[in-house]
Amino acid sequence: MIAANNPSLKSWVEVPPNSDFPIQNLPFGIFKTENLSPRVGVRIGNYVLDLKSLFVLGYLENTPFELSDFESPFLNQLMKTGKEGIRQLRNRISKLLNVNQKDLQSKQHHLEQVLIAIDNVEMCMPIQIGDYTDFYSSKEHATNVGMMFRDPANALLPNWLWIPVGYHGRASTVILSGQNIHRPKGQIKPNPEDNPIFAPSRMLDFELETAFITFEGKALGDSISTNEAEEFIFGKCLFNDWSARDIQSWEYVPLGPFLSKNFASSISPWIVTLDALQPFKVSGPIQDPAVLSYLEFEGEKSYDIHLEVLIQPEEKTESVICKSNYKYMYWNMSQQLAHHTVNGCNIRCGDMMGSGTISGSTPDSFGSMLELTWKGTKPLLLNDGTERKFIQDNDTVIMRGYCKNENVRIGFGEVKAKILPAK
Ligand code: CA
């Protein structure tokens, strides 16, 4: 077992019950305050541990890191040490925060420097994302979309059960939770018989996803196997892959989504390490037909992550509109990465891979408005009595996620953004 994952560990930092951030989590992010420049932090309870100050005070000696790794405005530099370096760092932080360790705990003047209340920090974009790839790995989602956009009798295209289908997205529009988004404009065809018009999207949607961030991969021309894949994955965050369905349905043939997807994609600020998620590994769905040999894998490669989506209209309360789980995904991360690199495509430190929309088999577990309202034919009723077919101006969409067993709860926090009227 990874030392920092020990469920019996307790921290001297107060962690509220049901917090997403017990000592067994210790996710990484980038934060700043009024007085502190952007730097690396680790979350514990309702505090952020300032790793730059911790390093300066000498608490991170004999780790493979230097000051510049912690005062960098992105995690990429820290991630250059790969899985082993990050594991060593997380284990060291776990020790420093352990209730039985006095080193840091007993030095009040140091605590005031390194431990900052979450309300006093501003989170920053954690990763300088090089390339962003989005998969399409939920069988339920692909089937639902196929039924609505194409042919109900042949909803899944013939390649879907053989290939972890994906496309190359756009990194420049991946944004941090809390940054609001203007409704996108584009070509839509409200009346299928008429020519397209240029207008704000009328079918603005979210996609409930998670994303994983990679360490530096192999050289161009080499491949990463399913058994090696997790060594190349730093961690995961929540991911809302905003989608304009009316723009999408007109533009996506033959090359796939373009402007319907690249106006914004929101991520949560804390990267939960794949190490921290190890206790929550589960088997994924049975894959039938049997996959080609390069997609075969050993052991449990899926993760039990509870996910939910909420809509909050302006100045109203939140309504939960979807409860799903990452474990429903047909293709796992190891298969996605093996497939991505099987042709020799290289991945780099700080690449991001979206899971694809995470839908379950029941209507309340569908991961998009498109599916939840069945293309607007079954509007959802919110707590305030209003109905939604798609996302309206001034709606805030919130996604939350956590893993839980009898001992520990490890959470991701949330990703949220408000939709502003079209510019
Ligand atoms: Ca997507």
Q: How many Å lie between the centroid of ligand 1 and the Cα of residue 243?
A: 8
Q: How many Å lie between the centroid of ligand 1 and the Cα of residue 293?
A: 26
pLDDT at 150: 85
pLDDT at 329: 98
Torsion angle in degrees (nearest 10) through CA of 260, 213, 414, 331:
70
Q: Which helix (H) or strand (E) holds 54?
A: helix 51-56
Q: Which helix (H) or strand (E) holds 339?
A: helix 333-341
Q: What is the pTM of this model?
A: 0.98
Q: How many Å lie between the centroid of ligand 1 and the Cα of residue 302?
A: 19
Q: Pick the catalytic residue: 109, 110, 141, 168?
A: 141
Those residues whose C-beta lies under 8 Å from the C-beta of residue 245, and which sit 6 or more positions away, are 201, 203, 204, 205, 260, 370, 375, 390
Q: How many Å lie between the centroid of ligand 1 and the Cα of residue 300?
A: 24
Beta strand 243-244 pairing with 166-168: unpaired
Note down pLDDT in tens along the chain; length 423 residues. 999 999 999 999 999 999 999 999 999 999 999 999 999 999 999 999 999 999 999 999 999 999 999 999 999 999 999 999 999 999 999 999 999 999 999 999 999 999 999 999 999 999 999 999 999 999 999 999 999 988 899 999 999 999 999 999 999 999 999 999 999 999 999 999 999 999 999 999 999 999 999 999 999 999 999 999 999 999 999 999 999 999 999 999 999 899 999 999 999 999 999 999 999 999 999 999 999 999 999 999 999 999 999 999 999 999 999 999 999 999 999 999 999 999 999 999 999 999 999 999 999 999 999 999 999 999 999 999 999 999 999 999 999 999 999 999 999 999 999 999 999
Q: How many Å lie between the centroid of ligand 1 and the Cα of residue 116?
A: 35
Q: How many Å lie between the centroid of ligand 1 and the Cα of residue 191?
A: 25
Q: How many Å lie between the centroid of ligand 1 and the Cα of residue 111?
A: 42
Q: How many Å lie between the centroid of ligand 1 and the Cα of residue 261?
A: 8
Q: How many Å lie between the centroid of ligand 1 and the Cα of residue 319?
A: 22
Q: 74 and 125 in contact (C-beta within 8 Å)?
A: yes
In the numeric block, which tokens belong to residue 1?
A: 């077992």
Torsion angle in degrees (nearest 10) through CA of 84, 100, 48, 209:
50
Give Cα separations from 420 to 51, 172, 204, 238 (angstroms). Answer: 36, 20, 12, 21
Q: How many Å lie between the centroid of ligand 1 and the Cα of residue 295?
A: 22
**Active-site annotation holds for 110:** no
Q: Which domains does the chain have, with CATH numbers?
A: 3-124 (2.30.30.230), 132-420 (3.90.850.10)
Digit-coded pLDDT (tens) for 258-276: 999 999 999 999 999 999 9
Q: How many Å lie between the centroid of ligand 1 and the Cα of residue 44?
A: 30
181 forms beta bridges with: 419
Q: 219 and 328 in contact (C-beta within 8 Å)?
A: no
In the numeric block, which tokens belong to residue 422?
A: 């079209």
Q: How many Å lie between the centroid of ligand 1 and the Cα of residue 357?
A: 6
In the numeric block, which tokens belong to residue 232?
A: 């190349």
What is the separation of C-alpha 64 from the centre of its chain, rounded to a whole number of angstroms? Answer: 27
Q: How many Å lie between the centroid of ligand 1 and the Cα of residue 140?
A: 14
Digit-coded pLDDT (tens) for 134-176: 999 999 999 999 999 888 999 999 999 999 999 999 999 999 9
Instruction: Look at residues 260, 111, 267, 78 and name the one whose alpha carbon lies nearest to residue 176.
Output: 267
CA distance 134 to 22: 30
